[in-house]
Structure 1
Amino acid sequence: MRVVGVYINNYKSIGEMKNYLKLDPKVTALIGKNESGKSNVLEAIGQLSFEKNLRSSYFDNKNRMSLEDVSIHVDFEFTEKELEKYEIEQEKTKIIFSGPSETIVEGGLIDLIKGDEQLQKALQELGNLKSSKNIWKSDNSVKTVNELENLCTNQISNYETKLNNLKKGISRDYEGKDGLIQTIGVIRDRIEGFYNLLPQIYYRSKDVQLQSSYKYDDIKNILEDETHILSRFFIAAGIKKEDIIRGFESKSSGEKRTAKNKIEGATKKNIETEFKEFYNQENIEIQVELEGQLFKIYVKTGDVAMDLTERSNGLQWYLTIFIDIFSNYYNDRPILFLLDEPGVHLHVNAQKELLNFFSHLADKQNQVVYTTHSPYMIDGSNILNVRATEKGIDGNTLIYKNAYDQELSKDTKMETLSPVINALGADLKFNFGPSQNLNIVTEGITDYMYIKAMLEYLKVDRKINVIPSAGVGNVNRIASILIGWGCDFKIVLDYDKAGHDEYIVLVDKLDSSLKENIVFVNCEEDDIEEMKKDPKTIESLVAEVKEGTIENTSKRLAANGFYERIKSNIDPMPETVDNFMRLFSRLRI
């Protein structure tokens, strides 16, 4: 299952208005000014576990300006693979956390549980025995049975521990003990199967740094702490605890050398090989050595080997987060990764590699949410996965579904949009050399959405960069930059007075040769009188808007609805396809 969105109610700076974070199915970027509450959003979600109740301390983080208590609810949907496996229709699941022991599950997952014949039969068998005094050693066992009977409405926290205790709570003299243990085992396996559909949460709230050297006396304690970054290194590499102990303590030199070989080989095979796939700034090798009573990590480039801490902060950080994340692949469950300001120490190209890493994680059925101020941490080819936060006039954090929401304040919009706007420029400057790719400049974000959607639908092979100008009056500014960089570009304007006025600015005041670069949405020539009589906008090309098959309460909502339909593999109407193919033909795509 994937997370669709999260309502965060009255947690720290977050109130009850604009408190819904909508997640992209793959990667979501969260931007905003400092102190706007981005970290609080991640923290609120990062402490959740979908198979356990929240700690009581979580609910102590109450918004001081609110009279209401903290609560949080998470919306999920099934993946296509799950829909096919269970032969079900899509129905959202909701998990509501409203107190330390108050967790409710509703929707599609509950319907799956109710429809599981094996589980329901086992629960019924167990329920029939709860009142028999000669079966259970204590009333606690009967209480657990009662909880299990509520499985279809309430979350059963720590179910594995409770079911194990239930087995231990069976009276020794009960004749049907073996059969009852088997029934409890069926319940455990079925519950685990359903909970494994829900994602685990990986929350990186602070930077930890992998060191280049560790003393064995310290390693003995570290081995007992799976959260320690060195333990994560061992897990990621597949290094066994007993090999580490033998490598340091064995009296046999041959046994000690064998253990060292295993450790070095596992590091090369399971960490170095994977790391090279994502960090291609340089060709490096990850080497480990057991030197005396020290475990040492080296990074080798060419013929030069250096201690890890002698390398740049960026490389150290990148390797650390790679190991920390890579070591969390377990149980074949999806993971929701929450990362606060990743890549802050990395140079431009390494930040871009980090975006590739996020995409790789998402391709494995995971989701990634991260905060950033950096334009190089925004995917300029898909700015629709960006969400924005700002502080309202009452001091509460407001969460916006996109970075171009008209309700964002002017000051916030300037700062919040900066990484997005800069990302588009950075993409052009660093990724798109002159004449290598085509750049399409549009009047605004709605044009961007429609054109991006249809480029994806028509599976255009050529890499196209679409640049929204945030208003028709800014088109000439974008065009002047592209001219200066020597980039190949086309301009799409609405066939109306505003489009005509910008056409005059472009052709008469900027560069007369731009006439060949400009295409009106209806593919007609410039005719001001015709524009006044029968204006056309990008929406004129979309039959779904005219026929009301997508929400049309605003231009932006309609464009977003259309984009989401295409992403959900819903075919556009034939008229829409014909219109955009005509437009793309004029754009020489």
Structure 2
Amino acid sequence: MFIKKFNVKNYKSIVDSGDCYLEADMTILAGKNESGKSSILEALHDFNVSNSIDRSSVPLDKRPEDLAISITFLASENEIKDYLGIRAVSFENGWLEITVTKDFYDRYFIQKDLLSFLKLVDIHSPEYLKKEKELLQDSYNEFKDIYEEFATSINLTDLFVFDSSDIEGSRENLQSEIEALVGLKEEDNDDTTQSTLSSYIKILSNFYNVLSIVLDQEQSNKEQWDKFLSFLPNFIIFKSFEDILPNSISFEKLKESPFIQDLASVSSIDVELLLSSDTRRKIKHKGDINFNINTTYSTYWNQDKTELKIDWDSNDLTFWVEEESELYSPTQRSKGKQWHLSFYLKTSARTIDNKTNILLVDEPGLFLHAKAQRDIYDRLLNTSQNQNIQSLFTTHSPYLIRHDELQRIRLVQKSSIKLGTQIISKLHAVSDKETLTPIMTAIGLELNQGIQNINQANNIVVEGPSDVHYFNAFSTLINDKSINFVFGGGSGNMGNIGAILTGWGCNVGYIYDNDKGKADGVKNLKNTWFVDGSQIFSVTDILNGSIEDIFTVEEFKLYILEDEEQEISGTVSDFMKSSGKFKSKINKVLASKKFLTSVNKKSVNLSEETLTKIRNVFENLKSIFYNSHNS
């Protein structure tokens, strides 16, 4: 089983998150502080059957009935058979898609077309409850009047009255009524009275049986739902700001301490033994605990040689961090190491065997330096891929974003109170600069690699970062890696970059969009840097055109806008510049970077018309170096 998508409505700052599709391994929620990233994780954690949703999670202007947390997951034929005991059938692509929604009242609902197949009855639906109550009420009404008349005639008090809102209580009251009538029958010697009592005992007994059948069916339905709910995924949440390892825990609080409960799952710590007076067994137990902890912890932390030690006296259990044979309290170590220790304990302990576990991490590695943050990224990804556990983490750190894995990112933004927190899958459709900062920083770190690639003799300086991504994608599509494309920092700065490359002995050329920026840039190159005109090209012959004009309109809508319904009249570059008409306000850098990622994943298939344009541009650029070699 794996989660395909989720949706959250009317939970804290979230009005409607929109559908958030998850990667099969690791997904990243990126956004600025106070955008609602943590609320999304908390909502998913509240989806767990063991959790109840707190009233404070409902927005002030909403009713509890408005809150909904929906999870759509894909289950295999074997899982449906093994977990639910339902005969395997042939699902489309081998998977069954199931959407489960939890409401504020801890009720779970699935799509109606699957109820029968999964042997479930929607026990919370108004139709089901109404039908059940009406059935019983009609049955009761058939004998109520005549029974009340008879009961009055024999001075029977505390008459049974059916309460459709409390079927179980009604059955208990009815049982008492029947027992009372049986007692009267045994006491009365009058044959007529006995016959009449027998008749009413039979009537009430029949209704008792009806109540029992309904209640038994309710119980059966509930048991089937419980079976299904136990099949649902388990969300494990780790909060960087809250789940920090303490220095010590008093013996008085050992049993209720969540850290001890977690520790018990990864080390087999025996609290009852710790509280006992059996000194010999406690000494051996201490060695076993520390061995078990560090055997697994060593796979979680490789920044240095660190071990977590447990000790105790007569009053407290104490945590120690051992480094180079020296012991330190957790608070004496860096925030990063404290975070890592706590993360190891909690995430290892909260994993449930034989169940799909989803790891939710709020701001991982917040206190770690850049290298350790990158290590966290690799750890989470390896855990997801090797242990088949999907993970979802929030961040605003560029070191937890990989420029070549932007497909993992879902942006979180809160543009207004009315719209609330929203999850945006199309990175280029977000215009908020602060939200995009960590992603743009990660991409910026990548762009530096072009000028550092001095082993490449032939270099083309381009205007913007999007040009770098597009040209690198084009070189892959036509299988031509003979040119190194270098970010020039804008048309006015390209001469500076070219001069540096020339000073390193590289061959250098320049390419511009066919607009006013080119005219100004060419003038600067010739007058300031004495660049020959044969070293300068335009990416397109279209007046005021840009690199996006390489694509056909249809390809641009499919691969760049990711919106085939968008209307475009005129050239692509005209469309790009008419921001007032362009509702999604495309981010050129992110759009180009995502296109590069798609090309690397071999999920782009351009027309021969476009590929011919690309080859022609590359041939023009390579002529610069051909001419320089022959001059």
Q: Aligned with 2:14: secondary structure?
A: coil
Answer whether contact 2:25 2:389 (CA < 8 A) is retained: yes
Query: 2: CA distance between counterparts of 1:545 and 1:208?
Result: 46
Question: Which of 318, 324, 327 does residue 296 from structure 1 map onto?
Answer: 318
Q: Are positions 1:96 and 2:101 aligned together? A: yes
The structural deviation recorded for 1:360 is: 2.2
Q: Are positions 1:261 and 2:287 aligned together? A: yes
Answer whether contact 1:339 1:371 (CA < 8 A) is retained: yes
Answer whether contact 1:199 1:333 (CA < 8 A) is retained: yes
| Structure 2 equivalent of residue 182 of structure 1 | none
Q: Are positions 1:235 and 2:265 aligned together? A: yes
Q: Are positions 1:62 and 2:96 aligned together? A: no
- Structure 1's unaligned 5+ residue stretches are 116-130, 160-187, 519-524
| Structure 1 equivalent of residue 440 of structure 2 | 421
**1:534/1:246 CA distance change after superposition, 3 Å:** closer
Query: 1: CA distance between counterparts of 2:598 and 2:545?
Result: 29
| Structure 2 equivalent of residue 113 of structure 1 | 118
Instruction: Tell me which amino acid in the other structure corresponds to 1:262.
Output: D
Comparing 434-443 with 378-387, greater Cα deviation is found at: 434-443
Answer whether contact 1:281 1:349 (CA < 8 A) is retained: no
**1:475/1:262 CA distance change after superposition, 3 Å:** farther
Query: 2: CA distance between counterparts of 1:303 and 1:270?
Result: 19
Q: Aligned with 1:537: secondary structure?
A: helix
| Structure 1 equivalent of residue 141 of structure 2 | none
| Structure 1 equivalent of residue 173 of structure 2 | none
Instruction: Tell me which amino acid in the other structure corresponds to 2:402.
Output: D
RMSD (Å) for aligned C-alpha atoms? 5.7
Q: Are positions 1:552 and 2:564 aligned together? A: yes
Q: Are positions 1:143 and 2:143 aligned together? A: no
Query: 2: CA distance between counterparts of 1:553 and 1:94?
Result: 28
Q: Aligned with 2:91: secondary structure?
A: coil
**1:105/1:343 CA distance change after superposition, 3 Å:** same
Query: 2: CA distance between counterparts of 1:424 and 1:343?
Result: 20
Q: How does 1:554-569 map to 2 (within 5 A)?
A: none
**1:387/1:216 CA distance change after superposition, 3 Å:** same
Q: How does 1:205-216 map to 2 (within 5 A)?
A: 205=239, 206-216=241-251
Answer whether contact 2:499 2:529 (CA < 8 A) is retained: no
Instruction: Tell me which amino acid in the other structure corresponds to 1:104.
Output: F
| Structure 1 equivalent of residue 575 of structure 2 | none
The structural deviation recorded for 1:312 is: 1.5
The structural deviation recorded for 1:404 is: 4.3
| Structure 2 equivalent of residue 353 of structure 1 | 375
Instruction: Tell me which amino acid in the other structure corresponds to 2:390.
Output: Q
Instruction: Tell me which amino acid in the other structure corresponds to 1:386.
Output: I
| Structure 2 equivalent of residue 73 of structure 1 | 70
The structural deviation recorded for 1:356 is: 1.8
**1:400/1:493 CA distance change after superposition, 3 Å:** farther
Query: 2: CA distance between counterparts of 1:465 and 1:70?
Result: 53
Q: How does 1:285-364 map to 2 (within 5 A)?
A: 285-291=307-313, 294-363=316-385, 364=387
Q: Aligned with 2:342: secondary structure?
A: helix
The structural deviation recorded for 1:448 is: 4.3
Query: 2: CA distance between counterparts of 1:320 and 1:537?
Result: 48
**1:307/1:370 CA distance change after superposition, 3 Å:** same
Percent identity between the aligned chains? Answer: 18
TM-score normalised by L of structure 1: 0.64
Q: How does 1:438-453 map to 2 (within 5 A)?
A: 443=464, 448=469
Q: Are positions 1:367 and 2:390 aligned together? A: yes
The structural deviation recorded for 1:15 is: 2.5
> Could you report, residue by residue, the CA deviation over 1:185-229 in whole angstroms, capped at 9, with x for unpaired residues?
xxx5xx47xx53x4211223551221233343432x24xx5xx12
The structural deviation recorded for 1:357 is: 2.3
Query: 1: CA distance between counterparts of 2:312 and 2:392?
Result: 37
Answer whether contact 2:290 2:308 (CA < 8 A) is retained: no
- Structure 2's unaligned 5+ residue stretches are 82-87, 121-205, 567-571, 573-585, 623-631
The structural deviation recorded for 1:573 is: 6.6
Instruction: Tell me which amino acid in the other structure corresponds to 1:270.
Output: T
Instruction: Tell me which amino acid in the other structure corresponds to 2:422.
Output: I
> Could you report, residue by residue, the CA deviation over 1:269-291 in whole angstroms, capped at 9, with x for unpaired residues?
223x222xxx3322223333345
Q: Are positions 1:204 and 2:238 aligned together? A: yes
The structural deviation recorded for 1:351 is: 2.0
The structural deviation recorded for 1:402 is: 4.6
TM-score normalised by L of structure 2: 0.60
Q: How does 1:423-438 map to 2 (within 5 A)?
A: 423-426=442-445, 434-435=452-453
| Structure 2 equivalent of residue 10 of structure 1 | 10
Task: Say which one has the larger Rg.
Answer: 2
